[in-house]
């Protein structure tokens, strides 16, 4: 029995009461009107309100995103998490185990509690043989994200929740097997991601998980980078900052939506991954590196600012987006970008690609402002992750979104547990046809 589960069992009754109180006090208060424009999205450059943008619609406890300040995990900013969460011996980045504990409980765990999670996840890490076979049969030309989603969906074969539901579990107990599935899901992702990496880019042979090492160390080992302590530290930071970005982004929302049908966490998170695989969302971290490499090919490695500017303009004039810039909610430089930039300044200040990323940072926002369309000209998380991975030799860009997916499981899993604990109902927003909208407002 995990101590995290014990702590959850203590917290749940109080949270059920807390939600009751909030609803009694504020349940009938309004967030304001909904405009017809908000249903449509793209309208006109001057009155553009994209699909459901800003529409208050979901409860998501793990994190809240402020447009100016960026993400806070259970109220804690990224620098605060870096300071407060337990580290590995000799390390200085937070262990994602601690971040998961924080997302689930709202509390900073002890070193011992975090070690307990590392052990628990290592013990649960093995994946069924048939899932290994599914992955081994995938052609290496199938995008790693599609392979990832296939494998995660197939884990539903052994879902504790699906089984308990078939056996007639009572609603109030849903969270227990959901918790077990959430833990299994996170624990098994390294073996899935590692297998995809080795199948597509290596010889298909995979080392074993070390039961005494932390999650990121094991993940790095599966990719073949376990001996490189700086890379392991990077993964600890990477997973922590990519874990959660409140509930409305495509991957988080999809997981919650599918989970609301009482599909188990494997089915729900498989769906999240399919959303994360889109170029406007998680695929952007692959796209950034592709774009930077193309730029280097075109204008050389030590290009002048003028040449970089011209290249950025040519991207925009070609009707393409500058990947890694802009955000649906954020209106400042993403603190996840800042955390990665600080890591680079500490560990790889002279890396030529890092210099280019910095040069692009000095140039792109002004150009996006001048072009006048993007509401946020500043870089997001994806503008920086690829250069760090590349520096340590993980150069296969098509794989980057898989790492994002491993991280995103932490946030989605934490919320799925709470959704089942608090009895979140089936999600069912109302949709309208254009004819129905005309009819409603005919006389107004």
Site of interaction with ligand AMX (CB under 6 A): 42, 45, 48, 50, 249, 280-282, 284, 316, 321-328, 373-376, 380-382
Place of tokens 């909208």: 437
Q: Which is nearer to ligand AMX, 36 or 261 (CB)?
A: 36
Residue nearest to ligand AMX (CB): 326
Cβ proximity to ligand AMX: between 226 and 282 the closer is: 282
Question: Annotated catalytic residue: which of 281, 384, 391, 419?
Answer: 281
Q: Which two structure tokens, joined as six digits, stand for 19?
A: 């939600």
Provide the 10 A C-beta neighbour count for residue 44.
7
CB of 87 to ligand AMX, least distance (A): 26
- The residue among 238 and 325 lying less far from ligand AMX, judged by its C-beta, is 325
| CA–CA separation, 30 and 39 (whole Å) | 18
- Where are the strands (E) in 366-413, listed by range? none
Judged by CB, which is closer to ligand AMX: 3, or 359? Answer: 359
d(CA 286, CA 145): 11
Residues 130 and 148: their CA atoms lie apart, in Å, by 14
For 72, the 3-state DSSP assignment is: strand
Active-site pick, 245, 327, 384, 391:
327
Tell me how far, at minimum, the Cβ of 155 lies from ligand AMX, in Å. Answer: 24
Among the listed residues 279, 281, 283, the one whose alpha carbon sits nearest the alpha carbon of residue 251: 281
State the DSSP code for 55: -
- How many residues does this entry show for the chain? 444
The conformational region for residue 231 under phi > 0 = left, psi -120 to 50 = alpha, else beta, is: alpha
Evaluate whether 326 touches 380 at the Cβ level (below 8 Å). Answer: yes
Burial 164-181 (b: 16+ CB within 10 A, else e): beeeeeeeeebbbbbbbb
DSSP string for 369-398: HHHT--S--SB-THHHHHHHHHHTT---GG
Q: Is 281 a catalytic site residue?
A: yes
Give phi and psi for 49, each to the nearest 5.
-130, 105
Q: How far is the CB of 231 from ligand AMX (least distance, A)?
A: 22
**Residue 249 CB, nearest approach to ligand AMX (Å):** 6
Specify the residue, 221 or 376, whose C-beta has the smaller distance to ligand AMX: 376
| Nearest residue (CB) to ligand AMX, 177 versus 386 | 386
Evaluate whether 7 touches 188 at the Cβ level (below 8 Å): no
Q: Which two tokens stand for residue 359?
A: 């040069």
Say which residues have a Cβ less than 8 Å from residue 152's Cβ, sequence separation at least 6.
185, 189, 192, 266, 269, 270, 273
Helix intervals (H) in 124-174: 129-137, 144-154, 160-166
Contact (CB, 8 A) for 255 and 416: yes
| 217 included as an active-site residue | no
Give the DSSP H or E segment for 49. none
Q: Which of 382, 384, 391, 419 is catalytic?
A: 382
Active centre residues (catalytic)? 281, 327, 382
């Amino acid at each position: 029995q995990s101590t995290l589960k014990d702590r959850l069992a203590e917290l749940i009754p109080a949270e059920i009461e807390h939600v009751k109180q909030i609803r009694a006090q504020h349940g009938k208060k309004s967030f304001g009107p909904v405009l017809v424009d908000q249903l449509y999205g793209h309208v006109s450059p001057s009155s553009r309100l994209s699909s459901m943008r800003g529409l208050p619609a979901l409860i998501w406890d793990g994190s809240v995103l402020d447009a100016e300040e960026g993400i806070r995990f259970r109220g804690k900013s990224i620098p605060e998490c870096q300071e407060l969460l337990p580290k590995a011996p000799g390390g200085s980045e937070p262990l994602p185990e601690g971040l998961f504990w924080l997302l689930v409980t709202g509390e900073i765990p002890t070193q011992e509690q975090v070690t307990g999670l590392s052990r628990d996840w290592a013990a649960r890490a093995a994946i069924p043989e048939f899932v290994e076979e599914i992955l081994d049969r995938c052609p290496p030309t199938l995008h790693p994200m599609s392979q990832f989603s296939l494998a995660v969906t197939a884990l539903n074969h052994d879902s504790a929740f699906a089984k308990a539901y078939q056996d007639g579990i009572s609603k109030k107990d849903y969270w227990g097997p959901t918790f077990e599935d959430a833990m299994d899901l996170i624990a098994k992702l390294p073996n899935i991601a590692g297998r995809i990496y080795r199948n597509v880019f290596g010889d298909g042979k995979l080392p074993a998980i070390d039961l005494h090492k932390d999650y990121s160390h094991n993940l790095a080992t599966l990719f073949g980078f376990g001996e490189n302590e700086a890379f392991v530290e990077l993964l600890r930071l990477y997973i922590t900052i990519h874990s959660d970005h409140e509930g409305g982004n495509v991957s988080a929302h999809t997981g919650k939506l599918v989970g609301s049908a009482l599909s188990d966490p494997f089915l729900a998170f498989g769906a999240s991954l399919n959303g994360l695989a889109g170029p406007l969302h998680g695929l952007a971290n692959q796209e950034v590196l592709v774009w930077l490499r193309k730029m280097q090919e075109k204008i050389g490695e030590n290009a002048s600012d003028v040449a970089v500017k011209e290249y950025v303009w040519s991207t925009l004039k070609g009707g393409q987006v500058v990947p890694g810039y802009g955000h649906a909610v954020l209106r400042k430089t993403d603190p996840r970008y800042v955390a990665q930039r600080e890591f680079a300044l500490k560990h790889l200040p002279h890396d030529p690609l890092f210099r280019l990323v910095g040069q692009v940072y000095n140039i792109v926002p002004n150009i996006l402002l001048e072009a006048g369309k993007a509401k946020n000209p500043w870089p997001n998380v994806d503008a920086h992750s690829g250069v760090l991975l590349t520096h340590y030799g993980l150069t296969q860009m098509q794989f980057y979104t898989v790492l994002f997916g491993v991280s995103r499981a932490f946030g989605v899993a934490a919320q799925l547990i709470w959704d089942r604990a608090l009895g979140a109902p089936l999600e069912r927003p109302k949709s309208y046809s254009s004819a129905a909208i005309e009819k409603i407002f005919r006389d107004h």
